[in-house]
Structure 1
Amino acid sequence: MAPLLLLLLWLLPAAAAFYLCCVRRHTGSAGATLRRREPGRAEKRGYSPPKEPWAPRLCGSGLRLFVHVANTAFGQICLLPFLMRLNSFLLLRSLDIHEDPTFIPEVAAEGGEDKSEAKNTSNVIEQLLDGRSDSTENGFSFKGIKDYLDCYRSGKLTPAQVAKNIIATLEDCDKSTPPLRAIVQWDQEQIMLMAEASTARYRNQCTLSYLDGIPVCLKEEFKVVPYHHRVGTVYLGTEPETEDATVAKKLREAGAVIIGVSNMHELGTGTTGCNPNRYHKIPRNPYQPNCFTGGSSSGSAAAVAAGLCPVAIGTDGGGSVRIPASFCGVVGLKGTFGRISAHGCLPLSYSTVSVGPICTSVTDAAIVYSLLAEPDPLYPYGLKQPKATLSDVCAPDLKGLKLGVDWTYFKACDAEVVSTCEKAVWHLQSLGACVVEVSLPEMEEVRVAHATCILSEMRDFLQPDFNKHFHEMNLETRATMALASQFTALDYIKANRQRTRSMAFLREIFAMVHCILTPAVPSTAPRICESDLVTGSSDLSFTVRSMRFMQLGNFTGIPGLVVPVGYSAAGLPINFQVMAKWWDEAVLLRVGLKLEQFRYQTKKPAIYYDILA
């Protein structure tokens, strides 16, 4: 009864909100005079500690009641506007922003292509792989690409033998208690066909790439033959897919062994990975199975952390690669907007989503990035990107790099996270980097504008599904889409005006520093409640908070890398984030390699399968 009583308490202030809504139609948005903002630097505000979002965590009968009310006239007119105002989602309505809107965060590449640097990529990868040779000296180490290549090149194991191990593991991990639920679709015959072809190439010494024979999985948001393109739902992908997404095609051409498609938060609408429907269920965090993996690329991160594969591919519209990578203690890279083709993904939010790898190490992320990052004629964004290189990634130190930190922003997280991440900053400084204090302006506006863009675009794309498949959607998805319906066309345009301002501020900041440093997520992975397994849950406060350090990258299109740097007292992973200017993923990888040295020991997850044993 407690959730029901809590929800009823909501309805009292909602009635007052209805009155205020009526009044504000006459007094102006938010009942205040518009604050005029001129273009340029004069009026930008630095970051101040955020007001923590508030909304009760709903599950079970409370969540059912909320979803029902939210999708009634009363909910749309009273309850949801109250919730929007309570969490400042209508902030932009009180601002008069003059900049022209930027609807797609594409940025022109600077300078010409460095062909000599591009040719050196293979040499850099060899150096990176050589540098992984001492990775086991401090105890446990995730098995990465180098470990697989060493087995194949030495003849200790073949890709076919590894594939048989993976198939046996996939059968085992979903029979365990609780089931891992990282890979939700796999096909033994398909896995063996790719592995046997790779085995033949190794035998004939004609391998295709560094990924030949390497097990990989792709988020269910990608089209992958012959699997169902369900995107975390029960109603999409009724027939097996007949055409690969560009990323899946490139991985096949590189000789990778696709072991299946991975679990995800339904339609990418959340950051926990909670997906209780019959096809998916809730994936478990390999470090603590009673905790969430993070989302929406939940199964991708769980698969890598559990040792099922060293590489997984996800998508990131609001931290959906970086949040699960952080909760599961592995590396996640969100490339510059348009850097890696998203052709063959469901276009849920076309202006915020980037594709990126989740890997066991920064080295592995660099290898996958160098393979996937290039223009795709089938994908309109990123066609004019510069050649992806690994320039200076192997530099012995960080001398010459300026790393920016907005300390007020940086410290807006749990004490354990702050403490660990502060030490990581001083570690980078000890390697020769210059740490520069910077001010990230208007981050509250960025939060609201990003939410406006991603939710408006998702609601637009999913409107036919919402009407036709409403009762087949998870309760949380229905609640999120109901909330998204509160944004107007004017809100969307205003949000994209803010995007113009924010991108301009970043150009100024990146003229002074090479990178911006933040924690990855303000907290560690949350616990799974028993009711989540049945009805799922909706926790707006957690969703907003978990994206705090993610949204700037998605909103403006800059790249971001998250790297494990430690653990909480409860043994849950803590990750650190590095962001750089558009197209400069190489500097992220350079800094990321040094961050890996900071964590003196890697803890073995509670669920881990050694495929090479």
Structure 2
Amino acid sequence: MTYQRNPVKAPRMSGMALKAFVNALESGVGSVMLDKLTRDSGIERWRELPAGDAPPLQFPLPQGSAPAEPQPPTEQAARAIAASASPPERESVAAYLRAYREGATDPVAVVSRIHDAISRLDSGKQRMGLFVARKPDEVHRAAEASAERLRAGRPLSVLDGIPVVLKDEVDLAGFPTTLGTRFRTQVATADSTVAARLKAAGAIILGKANMNEIGINPIGLNPHHGAARNPWDTGRITGGSSSASAAAVAAGLCPLSIGADGGGSIRIPAALCGIVGLKATWGRIPETGVPPLCWNVGHVGPMGLTVDDVAAAYALLAGPDGQDLVSQGQSPHHLSGYGDDNLSGVRLGICWDYFEDADADVVARCKEAVAALTAAGARVVEIPPPDLNAVLWTHSCIILSEMSESMQPYVKAHLSDFGLDTRTNLAIGRHFRATDLVHALRHRHRLTRELLAQMADVEVLVTPTTATTAPLIPEAALPDGESNLPVVDALMRFVRLANLTGFPSLSVPAGFDEEGLPVGIQLTGRPYEEHLLLRLGRVVEQAAEYRVPPVHLRALR
């Protein structure tokens, strides 16, 4: 099979044209319009694509190997940070711990600087659009408690005193989980598993980060809470939907954040904002307390300044809980071999036609990252191209059908309160047939089975994370934003398959384009082999150029 990507056939719309289009979609003629839109984009060819003997159930993911000497999560996290080779100019978790240990600063002074910076960055006409909710007094009390533990030499973990932000898709007791809407205002009465584990580790949760409304678009423009702006160029998008979770890290407000990823929503903003983002294996990090939006493709996970930061957070956050069925029955998570930069024996699967279907600077930086991996001993194995049309429609049908179902009660009561891009996507989700969803679930099973067979011969698949660096914000179209499917395609081209199959996938900074915007490379591994992805990510990170964005806080000095 030769590599083929169909051109996107949809007009770019904003303003009154977009409003008229959305109103028409939701009217009696909407079905006719949606039939044409989806037919022009290749849905009929997908509907006719045989799924073979695949049933509409996820193919069981094979369990990973357990480490020879299991270690508690706190010890694994500590080892990741102890092995840190992060340069001193990066305010990583290791830099925070060093500053606390040497008495250069403490958590109280740090959060005071951060609060001042947030007040400056997130106010006025040029606001960065980072936070939707904060409680500075609570944060200050948490910092005081952390500082006392550190003075007594009794930290709860390597994350004690480390500032973290949560995507507003993750429950935090006492805060509403708006999902980026303006009407979902009920206050969470309990912490999500992720928030509870962070608190138990002593992390200081700064607040809830802005996101694309209900996570349904990868661009990151929110019509209710404002556009999240990229610290590398405030006139450019962050990517989404974990938009401000990425921007807050890039801007130096915290070395770690939590995002969620149903279709690249951790990895896309990580790439565009020049940070690290991990979508672990499906269910590896429990989603208890994360309101369901897309059951079969959704993940929650860490985003961080460095690979070491993300490895430490992964070690503390992964592992089953009693309420998330998908998280149960998995092999123990671990970081075996994490510090070993000798990659002899590691095979990198690359389809060069697919890899090179991106902007020239993106391809160049990602090839340099591949060169760093091969210099460390890895070997490239050429693999066949994916069927992008099958991947596109299988993923789109599942995620949009599930989001439409999860939002159905709100659609009935608040349809006009949703943003225009959200209403467009929900209309598409409602337009899919029941037979389409069963067909998609069958192809999910088939694609997973085929990818597992392919990865018997390679350990890791390598592509760019996105086909482009951060596009410009359409300022004239704000606050409503625009419909721009070519940009959506460029952002999502490489990310969908890992969501469909549930395989772990990591985005790592690989350098910069000629305009100084970050480029990300994506490493996708076998189920439960996050430790290998993180190990390779360290090699890429150490070889890539590092810069500080123009909008940036030095919280430790």
Q: Which interval holds the TM-score relative to the shorter structure?
A: over 0.9
Provide structure 2 residue ranges, at least 5 long, that are not aligned to the other structure. none
Partner of 1:80: 34
Count of equivalent residues? 557
| Worse-superposed segment, 396-405 or 433-442 | 433-442
Per-residue Cα deviation, 1:153-189 (whole angstroms, up to 9, x for no partner)? 1222111111111111121111255111112211111
The answer as to 2:37 corresponding to 1:93 is no
Select 1:170's aligned residue among 118, 123, 126: 118
**In 2: Cα distance, 1:106 partner to 1:61 partner:** 47
Question: For 1:322-333, what aligned pairs fall within 5 Å after superposition?
Answer: 322-333=267-278
The answer as to 2:548 corresponding to 1:604 is yes
**In 1: Cα distance, 2:472 partner to 2:386 partner:** 33
**In 2: Cα distance, 1:48 partner to 1:335 partner:** 27
Select 2:171's aligned residue among 213, 223, 243: 223
Does structure 2 retain, via aligned residues, the 8 Å contact 1:108–1:384? no
Deviation at 1:129, TM superposition (A): 3.4
Question: For 1:286-301, what aligned pairs fall within 5 Å after superposition?
Answer: 286-301=231-246
Partner of 1:129: 82
Partner of 1:118: 71
Alpha carbons of structure 1 residues 423 and 63: separation in structure 2 relative to 1, 3 Å: same
Does structure 2 retain, via aligned residues, the 8 Å contact 1:212–1:257? yes
The answer as to 2:404 corresponding to 1:459 is yes
Q: Secondary structure at the match of 2:390?
A: helix
Select 1:272's aligned residue among 206, 219, 226: 219
**In 1: Cα distance, 2:344 partner to 2:63 partner:** 25
Select 1:151's aligned residue among 92, 95, 99: 99
Bigger CA radius of gyration:
1
Does structure 1 retain, via aligned residues, the 8 Å contact 2:67–2:336? no
Per-residue Cα deviation, 1:489-527 (whole angstroms, up to 9, x for no partner)? 111111111112111111112211110100000011111
Normalising by structure 2, report the TM-score. 0.97
Deviation at 1:530, TM superposition (A): 2.0
**In 2: Cα distance, 1:308 partner to 1:583 partner:** 31
Per-residue Cα deviation, 1:217-271 (whole angstroms, up to 9, x for no partner)? 100001112211111000102x332211110011001100000010000000100
Per-residue Cα deviation, 1:357-378 (whole angstroms, up to 9, x for no partner)? 1100001010000000101111
Normalising by structure 1, report the TM-score. 0.88
The answer as to 2:336 corresponding to 1:383 is no
Per-residue Cα deviation, 1:412-447 (whole angstroms, up to 9, x for no partner)? 111221122122212211111111111244332112
Letter in 2 for 1:419: A
Does structure 1 retain, via aligned residues, the 8 Å contact 2:3–2:385? no
* Aligned structure 1 segments of 4 or more residues deviating by more than 4 angstroms: none
Partner of 2:201: 254
Letter in 2 for 1:327: L
Deviation at 1:572, TM superposition (A): 0.9
Partner of 2:370: 425
Does structure 1 retain, via aligned residues, the 8 Å contact 2:245–2:259? yes
**In 2: Cα distance, 1:102 partner to 1:255 partner:** 42
Partner of 2:304: 359
Q: Secondary structure at the match of 1:469?
A: helix
Partner of 1:63: 18
Partner of 1:14: none
Question: For 1:399-418, what aligned pairs fall within 5 Å after superposition?
Answer: 399-418=344-363
Letter in 1 for 2:201: A
Alpha carbons of structure 1 residues 297 and 531: separation in structure 2 relative to 1, 3 Å: same
Does structure 1 retain, via aligned residues, the 8 Å contact 2:80–2:338? no
Partner of 2:538: 593
Provide structure 1 residue ranges, at least 5 long, that are not aligned to the other structure. 1-45
Q: Secondary structure at the match of 2:208?
A: strand
Deviation at 1:110, TM superposition (A): 4.3
The answer as to 2:115 corresponding to 1:161 is no
Letter in 2 for 1:65: A
**In 1: Cα distance, 2:178 partner to 2:252 partner:** 24
**In 2: Cα distance, 1:71 partner to 1:592 partner:** 45
The answer as to 2:430 corresponding to 1:477 is no
**In 2: Cα distance, 1:252 partner to 1:47 partner:** 50
**In 2: Cα distance, 1:242 partner to 1:330 partner:** 32
Cα RMSD after superposing both structures:
1.7
Partner of 2:435: 490
Letter in 2 for 1:270: N
Partner of 1:520: 465
Question: % of aligned pairs identical?
Answer: 37
Deviation at 1:54, TM superposition (A): 2.2
